[in-house]
Amino acid sequence: MAGGATRNERNEQDANAPLGIATTGYQERIVAAMTGSGHAAPSLTITSICGAGVLFMLPALISLGIIEVYRHL
């Protein structure tokens, strides 16, 4: 299943899934269950969350004390 490029497209695809809401990718899940791999490959597109990579740095910045430095400015 191709992921939608925007949040609204993904919401629409999710709402129109054959087995109901939040059941997209059921074919991949069935294959994963039958083969014993236990994982279905994610099919995410990142076009609508550009710049979100900054969030991955947040724990490192907090551990370095950047929040405390900012409070003293």
Closest CA to 30 of 43, 22, 40: 40
Q: What is the distance between the alpha carbons of residues 10 and 57, in angstroms, rounded to a whole number?
A: 26
Residue spans per domain, the chain: 7-71
Q: What is the distance between the alpha carbons of residues 16 and 20, in angstroms, rounded to a whole number?
A: 7
Over residues 7-38, the pLDDT tens digits come to: 788 788 888 887 777 777 777 778 888 888 77
Dihedral, CA of residue 53, residue 55, residue 61 and residue 63, to nearest 10: -120
pLDDT category at 47 given cuts 50, 70, 90 is low
DSSP state letters, 12-33: HHHHT-TTSTT-TTHHHHHHHH
- Entry pTM: 0.35
